[in-house]
Amino acid sequence: MNLIRTGIIKLDEYFGGFPEGRTVLLTGDAGAGKTIFGLQFASSNCAQGKKTMYLSTEEISDDLRLQAKSLGIDIEDYEKEGLLEFLDVSVLTHDTWDSNVRVLINKGNISSLMDNIPEDINTLIIDNIGGYISRDGSVELLNELDTLNYNLYTKGITALLMMDNATLKEFNDIALYSCHGSIHMMKHENPYTGKRERVMDIVKMRNCKTPIQLIPYEISLQGGIEIISIIE
Ligand SMILES: Nc1ncnc2c1ncn2[C@@H]1O[C@H](COP(=O)(O)OP(=O)(O)O)[C@@H](O)[C@H]1O
Ligand SMILES: [Mg+2]
């Protein structure tokens, strides 16, 4: 399986990257760094020549650009080259046809999203999928995610799906089952130092050995998420 570097150095050293054409779910507390992770992933995909679409259901594109710039994450040139496209659906509540990106956005309706994913993109980042899924129940959520992931897989699209904790908990973590990998980002108190720190948990990564320990990371002005160390 071809691997796509995430742009997070130690994660790439450990795993070699995320598998191309598969979906990784990124979950976590508000402020944990999911969006920053997504921006790094976008930049790194572009650096590897992958046409990337960043679909934002929460933040306007200008704020994402500012966030990337403030952390030294390169996206400006990729946008100019047409390798990276931001699609901001944060303000949309109805069906909207975006002629630039040829995608029908119907917030709250995941099948309209699936049916209209542009054919020519290699990588899709959805930040966050919580606003897209129906609230019908866990079985429906699992079906929707399975179908989405299968659709992406058949198109060869690598995906990073972010999901907020509220949605994750509402469906009893069921979203974890459907994806190839899943990473949970959080803040916790270090039992040795008593200090709060940011850590990520590699919940799963199919066909890979995964570290069992929580992985501490910082948000650095020199590039964003910076893993301090990975201990098995
Ligand atoms: N320039 C910066 N310097 C240091 N930390 C920052 C900077 N910008 C953002 N952060 C940190 O990142 C957090 C936002 O990360 P974000 O990826 O938006 O979280 P999430 O998407 O998980 O809610 C902020 O709450 C702040 O703690
Ligand atoms: Mg976010």
C-alpha 84/C-alpha 54 separation (Å) is: 8
More confident residue, 101 or 37: 37
Q: Which of 44, 49, 3 is CA-nearest to residue 22? A: 3
Q: Which CATH class is domain 3-227?
A: alpha beta
| Closest ligand relative to 33 C-alpha | 1
The string of DSSP codes covering 35-65 is: HHHHHHHHHHHHHTT--EEEEESSS-HHHHH
Mean pLDDT over 45-70 rounds to 95
Torsion angle, alpha carbons of 200, 203, 207, 212, to 10:
70
Is residue 59's pLDDT more than 80? yes
Contact of 200 with 184, CB cutoff 8 Å: yes
Q: What is the pLDDT of residue 104?
A: 43
Contact of 219 with 225, CB cutoff 8 Å: yes
Residue ranges per structural domain of the chain? 3-227
Query: How many angstroms does the Cα of residue 67 sit away from the middle of ligand 1?
Result: 8
Is residue 92's pLDDT more than 60? no
Query: How many angstroms does the Cα of residue 192 sit away from the middle of ligand 2?
Result: 29
Ligand 1: residues whose CB is within 6 Å? 28, 30-36, 70-71, 219, 221
More confident residue, 52 or 95: 52
Q: At what angle do helices 61-70 and 34-47 cross, to 10 degrees?
A: 80
| Closest ligand relative to 129 C-alpha | 2
Residue nearest to atom 5 of ligand 1 (CA): 219
Report the length, in residues, of the chain: 232
CA 211 remoteness from chain centre = 20
Percent of the chain clearing pLDDT 70 (strictly above): 88
C-alpha 103/C-alpha 118 separation (Å) is: 6
What are 152-166's pLDDT values in tens digits?
999 999 999 999 888
pTM of the complete model: 0.93
